[in-house]
Amino acid sequence: MSAPPPPKRQWSWRSQAFRGLVYQVVALLLLALAVIYLMSNTFANMRARGIQSGFDFILGPAGFGIGESLFEFDSSQSYLYAYFIGLSNTLRVALMGLVLATLLGTTIGIGRLSKNTLVRGLCASYVEVTRNIPLLLQLFMWYFALTELLPPIEEPLKPLAGVFFSKNGLQFPLPVWAPGHWGSLLGLCAGIATWRLWARHARQHFEATGITKPVLLPSMVLILALTTLGWLLGGAPGELDIPEITEINVVGGGALTPEYLTLLVGLTVYTSGYIAEVVRAGIQSVSFGQHEAAAALGLSRSHELRLVQLPQALRVIIPPLTSQYLNLIKNSSLAVAVGYPDLVSISSTALNQTGRAIECIGLVMLCYLSLSLITSSAMNLYNRRVRIKDR
Same domain assignment for residues 203 and 108? no
Same domain assignment for residues 312 and 382? yes
The domain boundary, picked from 211, 238, 265, lies at 238
Per-residue pLDDT tens listing for the chain (391 residues): 455 555 555 677 777 888 888 889 999 999 999 989 887 887 777 777 766 677 788 888 888 888 888 888 888 889 999 999 999 999 999 999 999 999 999 999 999 988 889 999 999 999 999 999 999 999 999 999 988 888 888 888 888 888 888 888 888 888 777 777 788 888 889 888 888 888 888 888 877 887 777 777 888 888 888 888 888 887 777 777 778 777 777 777 788 889 999 999 999 999 999 999 999 999 888 888 887 787 777 777 777 777 778 888 888 899 999 999 999 999 999 999 998 999 999 999 998 888 888 888 989 999 999 999 999 999 999 888 877 665 5
| pLDDT of amino acid 390 | 54
Same domain assignment for residues 323 and 357? yes
| pLDDT of amino acid 8 | 58
Question: Is residue 101, in this structure, part of any structural domain at all?
Answer: yes
The domain boundary, picked from 188, 205, 238, lies at 238
Q: CATH number for the domain including 103?
A: 1.10.3720.10
Half-sphere exposure at residue 113, Cβ-oriented, CA atoms within 13 angstroms: 21
| pLDDT of amino acid 241 | 76
| Strand duo 164-166 + 169-172: pairing | antiparallel
| pLDDT of amino acid 7 | 57
Same domain assignment for residues 220 and 104? no
CA distances from 293 to 281, 288, 307, 315, 359 (A): 20, 9, 12, 20, 59
Question: Is residue 103, in this structure, part of any structural domain at all?
Answer: yes
Same domain assignment for residues 232 and 378? no
Which among 75, 162, 139, 109 is positioned nearest to 270, based on CA atoms?
A: 139
Same domain assignment for residues 98 and 143? yes
Could you give the CA distance from residue 47 to residue 35 in angstroms, rounded to a whole number? 18
Q: What is the DSSP-derived secondary structure letter of residue 265?
A: H
| pLDDT of amino acid 370 | 94
Same domain assignment for residues 233 and 183? yes
| pLDDT of amino acid 127 | 94
Show contacts of 190-198: CB within 8 Å, 24+ apart. 190/226, 190/230, 191/222, 191/223, 191/224, 191/225, 191/226, 191/227, 192/223, 194/222, 194/223, 194/226, 195/219, 195/222, 195/223, 198/222
Please list the residues that pair with 61 across neighbouring strands: 78
Q: Which strand (E) or helix (H) includes residue 374?
A: helix 357-386
- The residue segments making up the domain with residue 219 are 177-238
Question: Is residue 139, in this structure, part of any structural domain at all?
Answer: yes
Question: Is residue 315, in this structure, part of any structural domain at all?
Answer: yes
Same domain assignment for residues 381 and 260? yes
Same domain assignment for residues 139 and 261? yes
Same domain assignment for residues 121 and 221? no
Same domain assignment for residues 201 and 329? no
Question: Is residue 324, in this structure, part of any structural domain at all?
Answer: yes
Name every residue whose Cβ is closer than 8 Å to that of residue 161 and which is 6 or more positions away in sequence.
none
| pLDDT of amino acid 292 | 76
Same domain assignment for residues 142 and 262? yes
Number of domains in the chain: 2
Secondary structure of residue 240 in the 3-state scheme: strand
Question: Is residue 337, in this structure, part of any structural domain at all?
Answer: yes
Determine the angle formed by the axes of helices 135-144 and 258-284, rounding to 10 degrees.
130
Question: Is residue 318, in this structure, part of any structural domain at all?
Answer: yes
